[in-house]
């Protein structure tokens, strides 16, 4: 075993190979690259939204569509954004070897993420009575941006469920938890992106005529 993959206790006994905490692993950099790519894509979508908004004339949304209702989204947002707390709690817990914290944190994150998607489905059911992705450019961008984000949430939940299942199999330990750290990073990104979507699609139409 090379020195790069071995730690030695004060007693001189070798312990576990390095996976996290001593430099960044290739999988961590891979997740960073993925996040950068997805962030670029969301940025392009949001810039397209604002471009069309300022090219469409004084009224936004166009074609008689009402401004976004903020009631439901005011419930959805804290549920999703605050889900980063149990995810972080789970991540730091397994770093300390606390399996119970990992499992409880993952279960709480799953519950909050599923609740967010359920509320988004309710929102879509209501909005589709008023406009659809085919109504106009606004409808296309609204459903594309929020739907693409919802897809990211769903993917994140599948990854978290995978972590949870494997946690009961004892796969994650204090010295082997890089997958938990990577998926936690992805989940924090998904939560952060929602704040930009909230500001752009929901709040901004109320700030301008």
The mean per-residue pLDDT over the stretch 167-180 comes to 92
pLDDT (0 to 100) of residue 20 = 42
Per-residue pLDDT for 17 more than 50? no
CA quadruple 109, 110, 114, 115: dihedral sign: negative
pLDDT at 19 > cutoff 70: no
Mean pLDDT of 1-25: 46
Total Cβ atoms within 10 A of residue 60? 16
184, 87 contact by CB (below 8 A): yes
pLDDT band at residue 189 using 50, 70 and 90 as cut-offs: very high
**pLDDT for the residue 5:** 38
The listed CATH number (3.40.630.30, 1.20.120.80, 3.50.50.60, 2.60.120.10) that belongs to domain 25-207:
1.20.120.80
Question: What is the percent of the chain with per-residue pLDDT over 70, rounded to a whole number?
Answer: 89
**Helix (H) or strand (E) segment spanning residue 178:** helix 178-197
Q: How confident is the model at residue 22 (pLDDT cuts 50, 70, 90)?
A: low
The pLDDT assigned to 207 comes to 86
pLDDT over threshold 60, residue 113: yes
Q: Which residues pair with 14 in a beta bridge?
A: 8
Q: 200 with 46: CB under 8 angstroms? A: yes
Tell me the per-residue pLDDT of 35-87, one tens digit each, with 9 for 90 and over. Answer: 999 999 999 999 999 999 988 878 889 988 999 999 999 999 999 999 999 99
Query: Is a pLDDT exceeding 90 seen at residue 7?
Result: no
Contact 40, 191 (CB under 8 A): no
Mean pLDDT of 108-118: 98
């Amino acid at each position: 075993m090379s020195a790069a993959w071995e730690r030695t206790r004060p007693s001189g006994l070798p312990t576990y190979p390095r996976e996290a905490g001593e430099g960044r692993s290739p999988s961590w950099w891979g997740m960073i690259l993925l996040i950068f790519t997805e962030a670029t894509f969301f940025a392009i979508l949001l810039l397209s939204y604002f471009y069309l908004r300022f090219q469409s004339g004084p009224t936004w949304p166009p074609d008689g569509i009402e401004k976004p209702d903020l009631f439901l989204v005011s419930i959805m947002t804290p549920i999703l954004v605050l889900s980063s707390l149990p995810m972080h709690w789970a991540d730091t817990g397994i770093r300390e070897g606390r399996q119970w914290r990992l499992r409880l944190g993952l279960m709480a994150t799953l519950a909050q993420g599923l609740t967010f998607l359920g509320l988004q489905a309710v929102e879509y059911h209501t909005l589709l009575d008023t406009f659809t992705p085919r109504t106009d450019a606004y409808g296309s961008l609204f459903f594309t941006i929020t739907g693409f984000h919802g897809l990211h949430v769903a993917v994140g939940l599948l990854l978290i469920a995978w972590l949870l299942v494997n946690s009961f199999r004892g796969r994650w330990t204090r010295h082997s938890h890089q997958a938990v750290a990577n998926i936690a990073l992805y989940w924090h990104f998904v939560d952060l992106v929602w704040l930009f979507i909230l500001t752009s699609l929901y709040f901004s139409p109320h700030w301008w005529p």
